[in-house]
Amino acid sequence: MGRLVVIEGLDGAGKRTLAGSLSFGGARVARFAFPRYDSDVHAELARDALHGRLGDTADSVYGMALLFALDRRGAAAELDAARRTHDVVLVDRYVASNAAYGAARLGQGAAGGFVEWIRTLEVERFAIPRPDHQVYLSVPHAVAAERAAHRERTEPGRERDAYESDGGLQERTGAVYAQLAAVSWLSPWTVLDGAAPPDADALAARLLG
């Protein structure tokens, strides 16, 4: 059974860049990214809500979290199948993202009720595969915000949504991520300085071990 490895971090932390740099030598690697905005109706609805196209839907913390969770529920069988045929299943954003952003919106920390609600919903009720290891790219929210703004300016169709453009939310979310990593929520975590280029080869060797 392949290892399910997740990369987490704020919008603009460098998750996509890191995921692309991890080759894992000759290991067979399957790659996923959530939310699946272009292939899952729940993720599509979440995107519409975050861009103000679904009335007050985005105001509901639990409602938005449920849409993101249903996206992963729809991918659970595919994730399991990939683990059976690959050495590594590398995922850009996963359950911890839902926990961190929702808790931050509610003003809670990792020990709050919302994080436990997400674990019960996604891992227990929806049977979404548990990660074997999670990597948190820790970066000052100001740096992440500038990267996200640059992406918005240079990549067509990458306009920032309500979460990405809320600096206070991003800062609080980073704090919850750090707490989740500190308590090894759902799996062991590795925390990296997202403001500096990581040693991709060393990281890949650690994640395979």
What is the DSSP secondary-structure string of 41-80?
HHHHHHHHHHTT-STTGGG-HHHHHHHHHHHHHHHHHHHH
- pLDDT tens digits, residue range 38-77? 999 999 999 999 999 999 999 999 999 999 999 999 999 9
Question: b/e string for 39-65 if b means 16 or more Cβ within 10 A?
Answer: ebebbbbbbbbbeeeeeebbeebeebb
**Contacts (Cβ under 8 Å, ≥6 apart) of 54:** 45, 48
- pLDDT tens digits, residue range 186-207? 999 999 987 777 778 888 888 8
pLDDT at 96: 98
Residue 22's CATH number: 3.40.50.300
For residue 67, give both structure tokens.
């849409």
pLDDT at 107: 97
> Domain residues for 49?
3-208
The structure's pTM equals 0.91
pLDDT at 208: 82
Listed as ranges, residues in the chain with pLDDT below 50 are none
What is the number of domains present in the chain?
Answer: 1
